[in-house]
Structure 1
Amino acid sequence: MKRIEVVENGIYMVLEITKEEQVKLLHFSAIPFNEMDIVSERIHNEAFNLVELNLSGMDKPYERHGNKYIVTAPGYRMKYSSLKDERNALGRKIEITTYDEVSQVYVTTHMQFYNQISIVRFWNEVTNKGKNPQTLEYISSFNYTGIEKEGLLPRDEKMRIHVPHHSWQREMNWQTYTLPEVGLEQVQPTIDQRSSNAFEITNVGNWSSKKYLPMGYLENTEVGSSLFWQIEHNGSWHWEIGDQNGHFYLNICGPDELNAHWFKELGLGDTFTSVPVAVGVTSQGFDEAIGQLTRYRRVIRRPNKDNEELKIIFNDYMNSLWGDPTTEKEIPLIDAAAKAGCEYYCIDAGWYADGNWWDNVGEWQESKQRFPNGLKEVTDYIRKKGMIPGAWLELEVMGINCPKLKELDDTWFFIRHGKRVYDRSRYQLDFRNEKVRNYATEVIDRLINEYGIGYIKMDYNIEPGIGTEYEADSVGDGLLEHQRAYLAWLDCIFEKYPELIIENCSSGGLRMDYAMLARYSIQSTSDQENYLQYATIAANAPTGVTPEQAAIWSYPLEEGDKEEVVFNMVNSLLLRIHQSGHLARLSKERGSLVKEALDYYKTIRQDIKIATPFWPLGLSHFKDEWVCLGMKTEHKLYIAVWRRQGNKTTKEIPLIGLVNNKVSIKCTYPSYASNQFEWQEASQKLTITLEPNTARLFEIEKE
Structure 2
Amino acid sequence: MRQINISENGIHIVFRINENNELKLIHFSSAEFYENNLAQPQMMNESFQLVQVNFAGYNRPYEKHGNKHIVTAPGYLLKYVDMKDEVNEIGRKLTITQEDLEVTGARVVTYMQFYKDTTIVRCKNVVSNIGTEEQTLEYLSSFCYFGIEKEGDSNSDHKMFLRIPHNGWQKEMSWKTYTFPDLGMAQTQPTRYQRTSKTIEVTNTGNWSTKEYLPMGYLENHEANTSLFWQIEHNGSWHYEIGDMHGHFYVCISGPTEVQSHWFKTLKPGESFESVPVAIGVGKNDFSEDMGELTKYRRKIRRPNEDNEKLPVIFNDYMNCLYGDPTTEKEIPLIDAAAGSGCEYYVIDAGWYAPGEWWDSVGEWRECKERFPNGLKEVTDYIRSKGMIPGVWLELEVMGINCEKAINAPDDWFFIRHGKRVYDRSRYQLDFRNPAVIEHVTEVIDRVVKEYGVGYIKMDYNIEPGIGTELYADSVGQGLLEHERAYLSWLDDIFYKYPDLVIENCSSGGLRIDYALLSRYSIQSTSDQEDYRHYATISANAPAGVTPEQAAIWSYPLREGDKEEVIYNMVNTMLLRIHQSGHLAELTKDRIELVEEAIKYYKEIRNDIKNALPFWPIGLADNLDHWLSLGLKTDNKVYLAVWKRNSKEKTLTLPIQKYIKGMEVVAVHLTYPKAELCSFDFNRVKGELNVTFEEDTMARLFEFELK
- What TM-score do you get using the length of structure 1 for normalisation? 0.99
Query: Are positions 1:160 and 2:165 aligned together?
Result: no
Higher alpha-carbon deviation: 18-27 or 602-611: 18-27
Structure 1 residue matching 2:659: 3-state secondary structure: coil
Equivalent residue letter for 2:462: N
The aligned counterpart of 1:145 is 146
Equivalent residue letter for 2:328: T
Structure 2 residue matching 1:64: 3-state secondary structure: coil
Structure 2 residue matching 1:45: 3-state secondary structure: helix
The aligned counterpart of 1:671 is 674
Superposition RMSD in Å? 0.8
Task: Indicate if the aligned counterparts of 1:104 and 1:128 stay in contact, CA closer than 8 A.
Answer: yes
5 Å matches for 1:322-471? 322-471=323-472
Query: Are positions 1:552 and 2:518 aligned together?
Result: no
Aligned counterparts of 2:460 and 2:45: Cα–Cα separation in 1 = 47
Equivalent residue letter for 1:689: T
The aligned counterpart of 1:541 is 542
Query: Are positions 1:682 and 2:670 aligned together?
Result: no
- What TM-score do you get using the length of structure 2 for normalisation? 0.99
Shift of 1:502: 0.2
Equivalent residue letter for 1:338: A
Query: Are positions 1:191 and 2:164 aligned together?
Result: no
5 Å matches for 1:80-91? 80-91=80-91
Structure 1 residue matching 2:356: 3-state secondary structure: coil
Aligned counterparts of 1:216 and 1:4: Cα–Cα separation in 2 = 27
Q: String of CA shifts for 1:261-305, please: whole Å, max 9, x gaps.
A: 000000110010000000000015100110000000000000000
5 Å matches for 1:77-156? 77-101=77-101, 102-156=103-157
Q: String of CA shifts for 1:630-683, please: whole Å, max 9, x gaps.
A: 000011100000001122100001113235454200000001134520111111
Higher alpha-carbon deviation: 488-497 or 185-194: 185-194
5 Å matches for 1:13-52? 13-52=13-52
Equivalent residue letter for 2:469: T
Aligned counterparts of 2:468 and 2:664: Cα–Cα separation in 1 = 57
Structure 2 residue matching 1:622: 3-state secondary structure: coil
5 Å matches for 1:609-688? 609-659=610-660, 660-688=663-691
Unpaired runs of at least 5, structure 2: none
Q: String of CA shifts for 1:6-47, please: whole Å, max 9, x gaps.
A: 000000000111110111000000000001100113444311
The aligned counterpart of 2:6 is 6
Higher alpha-carbon deviation: 97-106 or 536-545: 97-106
Equivalent residue letter for 1:645: N
Task: Indicate if the aligned counterparts of 1:202 and 1:239 stay in contact, CA closer than 8 A.
Answer: yes
Task: Indicate if the aligned counterparts of 2:220 and 2:285 stay in contact, CA closer than 8 A.
Answer: no
Determine which of 672, 685, 698 is the counterpart of 1:694.
Answer: 698
Aligned counterparts of 1:661 and 1:305: Cα–Cα separation in 2 = 33
The aligned counterpart of 1:586 is 587
Shift of 1:153: 1.4
Q: String of CA shifts for 1:200-245, please: whole Å, max 9, x gaps.
A: 0000000000000000100000111000000000000000000000
5 Å matches for 1:194-273? 194-273=195-274
Q: String of CA shifts for 1:665-702, please: whole Å, max 9, x gaps.
A: 00000011345201111111100001211000000001
The aligned counterpart of 2:493 is 492
Aligned counterparts of 1:22 and 1:44: Cα–Cα separation in 2 = 10
Shift of 1:586: 0.5
Structure 1 residue matching 2:412: 3-state secondary structure: helix
Q: String of CA shifts for 1:373-416, please: whole Å, max 9, x gaps.
A: 00000000000000000000000000000011233100100000
Shift of 1:155: 1.2
Aligned counterparts of 1:493 and 1:517: Cα–Cα separation in 2 = 15
Equivalent residue letter for 1:157: H
Structure 2 residue matching 1:657: 3-state secondary structure: helix
Equivalent residue letter for 1:249: Y
Structure 1 residue matching 2:705: 3-state secondary structure: strand
Equivalent residue letter for 2:671: T
Unpaired runs of at least 5, structure 1: none
Task: Indicate if the aligned counterparts of 1:399 and 1:426 stay in contact, CA closer than 8 A.
Answer: yes
Aligned counterparts of 1:675 and 1:567: Cα–Cα separation in 2 = 14
Equivalent residue letter for 2:78: M
Equivalent residue letter for 2:581: S
Aligned counterparts of 1:167 and 1:439: Cα–Cα separation in 2 = 31
Query: Are positions 1:520 and 2:524 aligned together?
Result: no
Aligned counterparts of 1:619 and 1:219: Cα–Cα separation in 2 = 15
Structure 2 residue matching 1:334: 3-state secondary structure: helix
Q: String of CA shifts for 1:347-369, please: whole Å, max 9, x gaps.
A: 00000001101000000000000
Task: Indicate if the aligned counterparts of 2:221 and 2:285 stay in contact, CA closer than 8 A.
Answer: no
Structure 2 residue matching 1:115: 3-state secondary structure: coil
Equivalent residue letter for 1:166: N
Identity between Structure 1 and Structure 2 (%): 63
Matched pairs, number: 703
Aligned counterparts of 2:57 and 2:665: Cα–Cα separation in 1 = 68
Task: Indicate if the aligned counterparts of 2:621 and 2:628 stay in contact, CA closer than 8 A.
Answer: yes
Task: Indicate if the aligned counterparts of 1:42 and 1:245 stay in contact, CA closer than 8 A.
Answer: no
Structure 1 residue matching 2:41: 3-state secondary structure: coil
5 Å matches for 1:307-322? 307-322=308-323
Aligned counterparts of 2:158 and 2:395: Cα–Cα separation in 1 = 48
Equivalent residue letter for 2:300: V
Equivalent residue letter for 1:530: D
Q: String of CA shifts for 1:31-86, please: whole Å, max 9, x gaps.
A: 00001100113444311000011101001001011001111111111111121110
Q: String of CA shifts for 1:82-111, please: whole Å, max 9, x gaps.
A: 211101000000011111121111000000
Q: String of CA shifts for 1:607-631, please: whole Å, max 9, x gaps.
A: 0000000000000001111000000
The aligned counterpart of 1:606 is 607
Q: String of CA shifts for 1:542-568, please: whole Å, max 9, x gaps.
A: 010000000000000011110000000
Query: Are positions 1:482 and 2:483 aligned together?
Result: yes
Aligned counterparts of 1:154 and 1:449: Cα–Cα separation in 2 = 63
Task: Indicate if the aligned counterparts of 1:18 and 1:44 stay in contact, CA closer than 8 A.
Answer: no
Against the structure 1 CA distance between its residues 222 and 44, is the aligned structure 2 distance closer, same or farther, given a 3 Å change threshold? closer
Aligned counterparts of 1:700 and 1:419: Cα–Cα separation in 2 = 60
Task: Indicate if the aligned counterparts of 2:316 and 2:346 stay in contact, CA closer than 8 A.
Answer: yes
The aligned counterpart of 1:74 is 74
Equivalent residue letter for 2:239: H
Aligned counterparts of 1:283 and 1:556: Cα–Cα separation in 2 = 41
Task: Indicate if the aligned counterparts of 1:661 and 1:682 stay in contact, CA closer than 8 A.
Answer: no
Aligned counterparts of 1:590 and 1:270: Cα–Cα separation in 2 = 63
Task: Indicate if the aligned counterparts of 1:45 and 1:77 stay in contact, CA closer than 8 A.
Answer: no
Aligned counterparts of 1:662 and 1:178: Cα–Cα separation in 2 = 36
Q: String of CA shifts for 1:557-587, please: whole Å, max 9, x gaps.
A: 0111100000000000000000000100101
Aligned counterparts of 1:56 and 1:155: Cα–Cα separation in 2 = 34
Structure 1 residue matching 2:45: 3-state secondary structure: coil
The aligned counterpart of 2:287 is 286
Aligned counterparts of 1:517 and 1:387: Cα–Cα separation in 2 = 25
Equivalent residue letter for 1:29: S
Task: Indicate if the aligned counterparts of 2:678 and 2:691 stay in contact, CA closer than 8 A.
Answer: no
Task: Indicate if the aligned counterparts of 1:225 and 1:282 stay in contact, CA closer than 8 A.
Answer: yes
Q: Once superposed, which parts of structure 1, at least 4 consecutive aligned residues long, lie more than 6 Å away?
A: none
Q: String of CA shifts for 1:451-481, please: whole Å, max 9, x gaps.
A: 0000000000000000000010000000000
Q: String of CA shifts for 1:115-149, please: whole Å, max 9, x gaps.
A: 11000000000110100010000000000000000
